[in-house]
Amino acid sequence: EPEVTQTPSHQVTQMGQEVILRCVPISNHLYFYWYRQILGQKVEFLVSFYNNEISEKSEIFDDQFSVERPDGSNFTLKIRSTKLEDSAMYFCAYKGLSGQYFGPGTRLTVT
């Protein structure tokens, strides 16, 4: 069982709206990551987060994206103004003993 939960499991939003995806660790972890997977395509890295700072980000992670850990627990990914091409599964992951372990994902649909 994954040691993170993600909410919501499915989010439908209109183009141009802001969305916030949440990742809730069950145990204490220091390294977190966000990935996305457009339907039928490979999983793509967005950003890594350590000690409340971004440690690495991809070219996909532009100014429309932001991450934070506002209360020291929940880890959020915000998309400020969604586009149709943001429709995808968004996975939170944490660094565990053997590698990165993924949460169940949030399916984002932008209409």
Partner 1 sequence: AQTVTQSQPEMSVQEAETVTLSCTYDTSESNYYLFWYKQPPSRQMILVIRQEAYKQQNATENRFSVNFQKAAKSFSLKISDSQLGDTAMYFCAFKGSGGSNYKLTFGKGTLLTVNP
CA–chain centroid gap for 47, Å, is: 8
DSSP 8-state secondary structure symbol assigned to residue 84 = G
Q: Could you list the residues that contact partner 1 (CB under 8 A)?
A: 2, 31, 33, 35, 37, 41-45, 48, 50, 55-56, 58, 89, 91, 93, 98-102, 104-105, 107
Q: How far apart are CA 57 and CA 29, in angstroms?
A: 19
What is the nearest approach in angstroms of partner 1 to the Cβ of residue 104? Answer: 5
Q: Based on CB atoms, which residue is closest to partner 1, 20 or 45?
A: 45
What is the nearest approach in angstroms of partner 1 to the Cβ of residue 89? Answer: 6
Cross-strand pairs, 19: 79
